[in-house]
Amino acid sequence: MKVGVIGLGYVGLPLAVAFAEEGHEVVGLDVDARRLEALGQGRSYVEDIPDETLAPLTGRLHPTSSYADLASCHAVIVCVPTPLTNSREPDLTYLVDSATALSQVLQPEQLVVLESTTYPGTTRERLRPILEESGMAAGRDFHLAYSPERIDPGRTDYTVRTTPKLIGGLTERCAERARELYAEICDEVVVLSSPETAELAKLLENIFRSVNIALVNELAQLCDRLGIDVWEVVDAASTKPFGFMRFDPGPGMGGHCLPVDPFYLAFKAREHDFYPEFIELAGKINQSQPHFCVERIDRALNDVAKPVKGSRILILGVGYKAGVGDTRESPAIKIIRGLQELGGEVSYHDPHVPSLPAVGLESADLGAVLGDADAVAIVTAHPGIDYERVVAEAPLVIDFRGVTRGISAANLVRL
């Protein structure tokens, strides 16, 4: 089989690799020349795909910027970004651009699958008409389906193969074609009744996380008032073997998915005069969490008779989650900006993020700055950092991730 993948990012590249590893020819299309150049040289820019994984695939994985190369593919999978506009509404520009270019090379009998996360109705109402500008009809001349990506960057216990794949086809035949495609790389394929069901199922998964993270983040703020250790509370509740699912508090939600996707559904709901309050409330609490962290750092410094202004504050970890260098929507950026606005001299250390142009900083050498800092705030708990040493050497440590549980020290403050 020959498979085309449009958008070789965190979602598209692992997918392209999965098909190539199964022996299929893969045309990987992107508009980012640097990414194409890296792939051409066998260099990966996605943490989950080491260079060694790419090396044996060079003959089968063909990076390109030319949509014409997709004409010979049996199936084309679209994995372009679906961010929000500045006014927090769905920004489908990337999808519209890629679909428009694809419509010009679309072939009879081809299968097109959208994997980008989006609101219910996008595949049918937005993608279909653009592809039909080719003069062909979806469900008759070509096939169209939606299949959400469920990848969790940095995760190793579940892979593309072992995570069940949801599919919603425009017609039964479309769904069957998509099922055959994904059966090549996934152990379990679940066929749903429509693209809309699959689109909404993905949003439910992410909203479920967003709401539960908001719940523990709010609890963390309350525990701070009550003087109760939120981590001990969460640990205790987690001993219940049924009816409770653990979520950890933290500095706020980041990444391309959780802070963004729920608003796709809120947008769609508003079109139908419906206001989903859980989504908005969870978003509000999670977005306020970095501000709470700034205030907590301020208070911790105050307790040792230091103002934020002029204090040297080291942020440990700026990726949006442990083990990844993705800083999109990372709460660390909001925390750094908040501290800078108060006059703090902020630096950061992150082994995965050499520079952070959003705040004009470069990653500092941990050993060199640790003893020099007035305070260290653990914002992202990357593996491989010696947190005992951090607590031993820094005069004040504020831990927003609970990684210092088990350490007791007078200079240690936990969320």
Residues engaged in binding ligand NAD (CB under 6 A): 6-12, 29-32, 35, 79-82, 94, 97-98, 116-117, 149, 151, 153, 256-257
Give me Rg for the CA atoms of the chain.
23
What token pair was written down for 397? 């440590």
Catalytic residue among 79, 223, 257, 293: 257
User: Between residues 30 and 298, which has the closer beta carbon with respect to ligand NAD?
Assistant: 30
User: Between residues 205 and 235, which has the closer beta carbon with respect to ligand NAD?
Assistant: 205
Query: Minimal distance in Å, beta carbon 118 to ligand NAD?
Result: 7
CA 4-8-14 angle, to 5 degrees, is 85
User: Between residues 81 and 338, which has the closer beta carbon with respect to ligand NAD?
Assistant: 81
Tell me the residue nearest to ligand NAD as measured from the CB: 9
User: Between residues 49 and 269, which has the closer beta carbon with respect to ligand NAD?
Assistant: 49
> What whole-number distance in Å separates Cα of residue 415 and Cα of residue 403?
11
* Residue 293 designated active-site: no
> What whole-number distance in Å separates Cα of residue 24 and Cα of residue 4?
10
Ramachandran region, residue 80 (left: φ > 0; alpha: ψ -120 to 50; beta: rest): beta
- The burial class, CB within 10 Å (0-12 / 13-18 / 19+), for 275 is exposed
User: Between residues 151 and 191, which has the closer beta carbon with respect to ligand NAD?
Assistant: 151
Contacts of 73 (CB under 8 A, 6+ apart): 2, 3, 4, 27, 110
- The enclosing H or E element of 215 equals helix 195-226
DSSP H helices, 77-154, are 93-103, 128-131
Which residues are tagged catalytic? 257
